[in-house]
Each structure stands twice: as C-alpha cells, then as structure tokens.
Amino acid sequence: MTDTEDVRRRLVGGGAISAGGVVILVVLAGVPTTPAEAIPVVWIGVGGVLLVLSGRLERLSLGVTTVGWPRVGAVGLAILAVGSSTVGFVQLLEASGWFGLLNAVFALGVALILAFGALECWFGGLQIDEDAFAVEE
C-alpha cells in the first residue's frame, strides 16, 4: 500500500466514523430542533462527508474549477478542528469540577491534532512525505 492510499484510507475511516456518529446521534436523540442543537450535528456531518469525499474522489468539481483531494480533506479536517476547539473552549468556560476540565482538555487536544492534519493536507507534506499527497492527472 502506498502512502497516498494509506492517507486516503484514513481520511475515509475518520469521515465514516464522524458521519456515522451523526446518524447514530440523530437516531438516538432525535432531529435537532434548535440552532444550538443543530450546529454540532451539522459541523460533524459536513466535516465527515468532506473527509469521505476526499478519500474516495481524486478531484471534486466545484462549479468551473476542480479541487484535488488533499484540499478537500484539509477543509474537512479544519471544519472538525474548529468545531472541536469551540466545544473545548465552551467546556473550559463552563467547566465545573475535574470532569468538565478533563472534557475541555480532551476536546482542545483533538482540535490540535485535527488542525495539524488539516495543515498537512493543505500544504501537501510538511511532516509526511509530499508524494503521499499527489493528485493523479
């Protein structure tokens, strides 16, 4: 398996987990009725779908231009990172006790990891070999 296939397989896996989590959340908790309930569902769902698309499609057609899979993956990871950091900071402000603080630290740590992944995809190989982010013609 090449590095490109490995990166893309991981993006599909992360996206499937995110999108599947949204489906499970909606089935168990019901369809969100307020904006405060809908926003987390939307950002996790959109981020997950973009990750699946980046792993499955070589290029994504957006109007008159096409975007390579690394950029689509970077946007999906960035959406998830921004959402996770928002949840982390809200938890940090509202934390009551050790559990709330631990929850905030976990959310911010996940956001940091996702942000590094987004930068790696966007710039095409800062720490990972740049050949892993090649887009076939």
How far apart CA 43 and CA 51 sit, in angstroms, is 12
pLDDT of residue 135: 83
Tens-place pLDDT, residues 105-125: 899 999 999 999 999 999 987
Q: What is the pTM of this model?
A: 0.90
| Domain map (residue ranges) of the chain | 3-128
DSSP sequence for the chain? --HHHHHHHHHHHHHHHHHHHHHHHHHHH----SHHHHHHHHHHHHHHHHHHHHHH-SEEEETTEEEEHHHHHHHHHHHHHHHHHHHHHHHHHH--SHHHHHHHHHHHHHHHHHHHHHHHHHHT-SSS-GGGG----
pLDDT of residue 1: 67
Query: In the beta sheet, which residues pair with residue 61?
Result: 66
pLDDT of residue 37: 85
